[in-house]
Amino acid sequence: MSSKYSGDKASDVDSWLWLVGGLIAGMILSPLISSWLPTWKSSLKSMFETLLCQLGHRERPSSMVNDSASAHFLDSNISPLSDDEDSSSYQSLDSNIREGFGLIGDEDSSSYHSADSNMSQVSALSDDEDSSSYHSVDSNISEVSSLCEEDIAPVQFQDSNNSEECVDSHKQVYRYDVFLSFRGPDVRNNFVDHLFERLTKKGIFTFKDNVRLKRGKRVKPELMDAIRDSRLAIVVFSSTYPTSTWCLDEMSAIADLHRQEKQIVVPVFYGITSSDVGREGGPYDVHFNSEQYSKIPNRVDRWKFDAKYLAKAYGFPINPERPETKQLEEIIAFVTKELNHKFTIDISDLIGIQPRVADLERRLKLTSEDVPFQILEIVGMSGIGKTVLAKILFDRISYQFDACCFIQDVNHIHKMHGRGATTKIQKQIIHQLFQEEDLQFLSSPEIVKMLQNRLCNPNLPKKALIVLDDVDDPNQWHKLGILPNFLGAGSRVVITTRFEHILNVNTTAYEIYEAPLLNDDDALKLFLTKVSKSEDPSTTVSGVSHKIIEYAQRLPSAIEKLASSFHPIGEELWERELVKWRKYPNERFMKSLQETSYDELNRDEKVIFLDIACFFGGKRKKYVEHILGTKMSDPYLAIQEIRRKSLITIRNHEIHMHQMLRELGKNIVRDKYPEEPKYWSRLWDVEDLQKVLMSDMEANKVQTIVLDDDVSKHEDMKIEGLSNMRDLRLLILHHKSSSENLTFRFNELYYLLWQGYSSTSLSLSIWYNLVELNLINSRIQQLWEGSQAIPNLKKVDLSNSKNLKEMPSFEGCRGLVRLDLSGCTNLTKVHESIGLLKELDCLSLQDCTNLALLDFGTNCQLRSLRTLLLSGCTKLEHTPDLTGLSNLRYLDLGRCTNLSTVHKSIGEHTTLKYLSLRGCKNLVHPPDLVNGNSSLLILDLSGCMRITNLLCRRQKFAPSSCLESLIFLSSDFLEPTRTLDFVAKMRCLERPNPKKQGFSSVFDRDWLCSKLTYLNLAYCHELRRFPELSFHGLHEMKGTLERYPQLSIIGQDYIFSASTV
């Protein structure tokens, strides 16, 4: 018993000793383990990646994937030890771990040592060993990988959450996707050029020194900046790479960024292996130890360290026995995956794209901390490439956000799903932003609540990028319930649309980008790329190619459709194909344009769209509004809405519509009868009109004819056939050939413009609907007999109708607003009923040289008349009684050379702004302006040489009672001193116009002309000086005065210089 008991006691003591010893060992070894564990884990991962490189990088293990905790492949704590030293260190450390903590049993320990031993052997393999050597260690990959994964958790235990949060909130914005580092002579003109070309064609913004370096810049600093501004670096190690210090410095800069997890690195081994770069005694090591680098040992040590570091990264050995194209594709696929590009973009979509994407990035203000939220609207017509821009932009910037989503074709989703469209889009947003699954069974309210809860949850990603493609209604955004305050600081929303300012949000955080058309060079390149089905089209460009681009007007979708039509045929037939396209555009292309452009317009907008497409492209906006205003109440608003929908643009006050949209409009008009224009609603071509006039007129459906060409050139045109177009509503025609008097049976005509109308009279079966009548340069002698009921008539223009002798009664058209009879040189009389036109705003009788009398009648009602032009009426002796013209503002009586008196009613007009009697050389008595004409701004009496008594009547110009607003006075009859006496007392006179000589000493006196800003002294050659204090208002016109070279400034005075004329 005692022995047994003593043995048991001894056993217990031994157990306690082992336990105490284990605790003591754990306490001693714990600091050592905590300091070595990250290094051990990082080094083990490094050796594991070296193993994969040697195996030919068949697949990238999941443990190497870039996740949120570890940005790139390698940790930053790799020790610069040789492979053997690393292996022994791992084994020594591993035994300490087992003894101190007992983490792994003996069996596991032996398997681990076996795996580690195999890894050490693999890292020392030479290039001459065959593939069987690689396969001998392949079975150990899973064991090594599992060991790496086991140690991830302890490493992440160090307060990683806060550090991650800090890094994410200050994510770097990169200028380039990829930086290419290579030694020029080895690979520039073959492998690297091919790699750069394929990267660029994939939409990957790549820096290559001979492409991106700017002239005049210091090369090395710019290269270093480009490295720092690149998300990923491809280092092409070649046999001569270590002979360039520039290349080696690039390599070290890249390695430093990789250690800081600021850059992804992809080594490519061209003509060499990874062991040639990293192992001691290898080709690179020989270069480092050469005489060339003996004087810079510190830099060499760094290069050695960095070369070995990058040699262990996951890379691509280029095998000369495999097709280069295949290996390039593998690299491109890997880079695309690392950059997390969501979309595969066709090469043709990338032509001319990079400057636009760069512009979009600037507008998003991604680097500005003062912009917590921004909406960017990409707007443009259908087919201009808005979606492609958005996709490339998304791939370029998505890495800067915590969560991203791209919802494509929002409008189509709404058309397909109706009321359920909003919920469907919300589900997509939740899935893409938060990776939520199994959302199909949730109701709409549940989805709304989930979306708002997720967005407002502080523990979920907050900085979001949301892209909505093809939005055509503001409710498609507003109903999603995503408020700016739900999103984290720095969030961005991008919307593509055809509707300018689609969200109707009044905020500075709303930026609009109008997607431009391609430039000429890019448009031509796109066409040649598409038509040749080649990434490298022929450099020879035919003249027809330029015509095609001109026809497509640089619209990408039109160019692609044209190219697809031209591809199957020989280039010698392109000219014919283009003629065919002009007459009959591709039906499918037109249909797609119609669905996205025309079908969504309302009734008035469709009418205006077709009119602009057929007739008014390139015309002045005011002109188009005026014509369209004759048939609808407010065309201005409809035109603005069409412009907002990207169907027209307004430049230099002109309306412009893209050629493809004009073709669409004409195609809609042709409809089912492309060869029978008599069934069209609109005619815009002379040949089509000729066909209609030669056809059965009773069946025609023509409503509008607008021809810019002179129809007179077509001698066989049977213009009289127009008289049978009963449905005609708008006619704009240029035709001067002689024809007999016709009776037009227009039932609906509301607008008529016929330049050169050759008949002596106009006979309409129905005048009632006529709104505007324009017979410019016509041969007409009389409009109608007696009184004609035309209640809708607003404008009559018979200018330069030299055969017109008199105007008929206006009693039936009292709504007339504008009457233009200028240049009607045979007109002798205007019917006195003109005084009944209450709505008349403008009356022009300029250059009616035979008009001797103008009478507005005893019951003048011209209260709306603002402009009366009588200049050049050389036989007019007296002005009419203007008593009833209570709103008259502009009165021009210039060049009325027989005018002797002016009716006294002129002095009663308190609204008159402009009065010209210029050149009225027989006018003896000036207008009587005694009765307080305080509104007059301009009074032109130049050339009125017979007026001599103005000074005698000077009291009638008392400033206190009249002319106190006058700013311009031109007269040739006032003496210099008397003129300045008159000028000095005017409160607002700015522009007296003395042209008489003799202004030599009149400024010796002091005049107070406080309002004077302009004084024409061009003819006052004897003037030498005038005091500034008298004309201090002239300071405001200093620039104008300097136009006179003889005037200079000395001290406080303006004087003439010696260069006087």
What distance in Å separates the CA atoms of residue 379 and residue 870, rounded to the nearest whole number? 51
- What pLDDT shows up at residue 121? 35
Give the pLDDT mean for 933-952.
70
Residue 922 burial by CB count (10 A; 0-12/13-18/19+): exposed, middle or buried?
Answer: middle
Give the pLDDT mean for 774-798.
90
What distance in Å separates the CA atoms of residue 211 and residue 218, rounded to the nearest whole number? 15
Instruction: Examine the domain organization and report whether 47 and 176 are in the same domain.
Output: no
| Mean pLDDT over the full length of the chain | 76
Query: What percentage of the chain exceeds 90 in pLDDT?
Result: 39
Strands (E), 330-429: 373-379, 403-407
Instruction: Examine the domain organization and report whether 499 and 567 are in the same domain.
Output: no
- What pLDDT shows up at residue 530? 87
Residue 476: phi and psi, rounded to 5, are -65, -25
On whether the CB atoms of residues 940 and 970 are closer than 8 A, the answer is: yes
Q: Highest mean pLDDT: which of 83-97, 536-550, 567-581, 634-648?
A: 634-648
Tell me, yes or no, whether 407 lies in a domain. yes
On whether the CB atoms of residues 702 and 678 are closer than 8 A, the answer is: yes
Candidate from 193-207, 548-562, 1017-1031 with smallest mean pLDDT? 1017-1031
Q: Is the pLDDT of residue 815 over 60?
A: yes
* DSSP state at residue 781: S
Give the pLDDT mean for 956-974.
55
Give the pLDDT mean for 444-466.
87
- What pLDDT shows up at residue 700? 86
Give the pLDDT mean for 598-613.
94
- What pLDDT shows up at residue 967? 63
Identify the residue with better confidence: 135 or 519. 519
On whether the CB atoms of residues 294 and 240 are closer than 8 A, the answer is: no
Q: Which two tokens stand for residue 108?
A: 């596991």
Residue at 778: amino acid letter: S
- What pLDDT shows up at residue 292? 86
Instruction: Examine the domain organization and report whether 368 and 456 are in the same domain.
Output: yes
Candidate from 215-224, 545-554, 557-566, 907-916 with smallest mean pLDDT? 215-224
Identify the residue with better confidence: 137 or 796. 796
Instruction: Examine the domain organization and report whether 205 and 303 are in the same domain.
Output: yes
What distance in Å separates the CA atoms of residue 181 and residue 223, rounded to the nearest whole number? 10
Write the pLDDT tens digit of every residue in 300-349.
Answer: 999 999 999 999 998 999 988 899 989 999 999 899 888 888 887 766 67
Q: Is the pLDDT of residue 115 over 50?
A: no
Query: What percentage of the chain exceeds 70 in pLDDT?
Result: 70
Q: Which two tokens stand for residue 469?
A: 């493609």
- Enumerate residues 6+ apart whose C-beta is below 8 A from 185: 240
Instruction: Examine the domain organization and report whether 207 and 84 are in the same domain.
Output: no
Instruction: Examine the domain organization and report whether 427 and 493 are in the same domain.
Output: yes
Tell me, yes or no, whether 658 lies in a domain. yes
Tell me, yes or no, whether 948 lies in a domain. no
Write the pLDDT tens digit of every residue in 147-181.
Answer: 233 332 222 323 333 333 333 445 677 888 999 99
Identify the residue with better confidence: 975 or 294. 294
Tell me, yes or no, whether 788 lies in a domain. no
- What pLDDT shows up at residue 816? 95
Candidate from 251-260, 590-599, 902-911 with smallest mean pLDDT? 902-911
Q: How confident is the model at residue 17 (pLDDT cuts 50, 70, 90)?
A: low
Instruction: Examine the domain organization and report whether 358 and 478 are in the same domain.
Output: yes
Question: 641 lies in which domain range?
Answer: 589-670
Q: How confident is the model at residue 858 (pLDDT cuts 50, 70, 90)?
A: confident
- What pLDDT shows up at residue 961? 45
- What pLDDT shows up at residue 936? 81
Which stretch of DSSP H or E encloses residue 88? helix 83-101
Tell me, yes or no, whether 916 lies in a domain. no
Residue at 1: amino acid letter: M
> Structural domain tally of the chain?
6
Q: Is the pLDDT of residue 989 over 70?
A: no
Identify the residue with better confidence: 713 or 960. 713
Write the pLDDT tens digit of every residue in 990-1013.
Answer: 555 554 444 444 444 454 455 555
- What pLDDT shows up at residue 649? 94
- What pLDDT shows up at residue 39? 47
Task: Report how far apart, in Å, the C-alpha atoms of 470 and of each of 349, 379, 405 are.
Answer: 18, 9, 15
Give the pLDDT mean for 39-47.
49
Q: Is the pLDDT of residue 1056 over 60?
A: no
What distance in Å separates the CA atoms of residue 678 and residue 697, rounded to the nearest whole number? 8
* DSSP state at residue 809: -
What is the separation of C-alpha 645 from the centre of its chain, rounded to a whole number of angstroms? 14
Instruction: Examine the domain organization and report whether 156 and 24 are in the same domain.
Output: yes
Residue 81: phi and psi, rounded to 5, are -100, 160
Tell me, yes or no, whether 807 lies in a domain. no
Q: How confident is the model at residue 784 (pLDDT cuts 50, 70, 90)?
A: confident
Rounded (5°) CA angle 603-606-611: 130
Alpha helices in 671-718 (DSSP H): 686-693
3-state secondary structure 877-904: CECCCCCCCCCCCEEECCCCCCCCECCH
Q: Is the pLDDT of residue 75 over 50?
A: no
Instruction: Examine the domain organization and report whether 440 and 456 are in the same domain.
Output: yes
Candidate from 141-150, 396-405, 765-774, 968-977 with smallest mean pLDDT? 141-150
SS3 label, residue 755:
strand
Identify the residue with better confidence: 52 or 854. 854
On whether the CB atoms of residues 806 and 828 are closer than 8 A, the answer is: yes
Candidate from 170-174, 178-182, 435-439, 544-548 with smallest mean pLDDT? 170-174
Q: What is the pTM of this model?
A: 0.68
Q: Which two tokens stand for residue 171?
A: 């994510």
What distance in Å separates the CA atoms of residue 518 and residue 521, rounded to the nearest whole number? 8
- Enumerate residues 6+ apart whose C-beta is below 8 A from 775: 752, 754, 757, 762, 797, 798, 801
Give the pLDDT mean for 900-924.
86
Instruction: Examine the domain organization and report whether 364 and 491 are in the same domain.
Output: yes
Considering all CA atoms of the chain, what is the largest pairwise distance in Å, rounded to the nearest integer?
Answer: 159
Instruction: Out of 583, 612, 632, pick the residue that ends a domain.
Output: 583
- What pLDDT shows up at residue 304? 92
For 404-443, give one letter per residue: b (16+ CB within 10 A) or e.
Answer: bbbbbebbebbeeeeeebbbbbbbbbbebbbeeeebeebe
Which stretch of DSSP H or E encloses residue 197? helix 193-201
- What pLDDT shows up at residue 88? 36
On whether the CB atoms of residues 734 and 712 are closer than 8 A, the answer is: yes
Strands 842-844 and 649-651: unpaired
Within a 10 A sphere around the Cβ of 817, how many other Cβ atoms?
A: 15
Q: How far apart are the first and last CA of the chain?
A: 145
Tell me, yes or no, whether 936 lies in a domain. no
Rounded (5°) CA angle 1035-1040-1041: 70
Instruction: Examine the domain organization and report whether 324 and 352 are in the same domain.
Output: no
On whether the CB atoms of residues 518 and 384 are closer than 8 A, the answer is: no
Q: How confident is the model at residue 531 (pLDDT cuts 50, 70, 90)?
A: confident
- What pLDDT shows up at residue 171? 63
Tell me, yes or no, whether 693 lies in a domain. no
What distance in Å separates the CA atoms of residue 976 and residue 718, rounded to the nearest whole number? 68
CA 526, 532, 535, 540 dihedral sign is negative
Within a 10 A sphere around the Cβ of 697, how many other Cβ atoms?
A: 16
On whether the CB atoms of residues 775 and 754 are closer than 8 A, the answer is: yes
Q: How confident is the model at residue 721 (pLDDT cuts 50, 70, 90)?
A: confident
- What pLDDT shows up at residue 507? 74
Q: What are residue 938's DSSP bridge partners?
A: 914, 968
Instruction: Out of 555, 583, 611, pick the residue that ends a domain.
Output: 583
Candidate from 20-34, 158-172, 973-987 with smallest mean pLDDT? 158-172
Instruction: Examine the domain organization and report whether 139 and 33 are in the same domain.
Output: yes
Within a 10 A sphere around the Cβ of 56, how many other Cβ atoms?
A: 11
* DSSP state at residue 400: G
- What pLDDT shows up at residue 1059? 33
- What pLDDT shows up at residue 31? 54
On whether the CB atoms of residues 850 and 828 are closer than 8 A, the answer is: yes
Instruction: Out of 638, 670, 702, pick the residue that ends a domain.
Output: 670
DSSP 229-287: TEEEEEEEE-TTGGG-HHHHHHHHHHHHHHHTTS-EEEEEEESS-HHHHHSTTSHHHHH
Identify the residue with better confidence: 137 or 388. 388
Return the CATH number at 486.
3.40.50.300
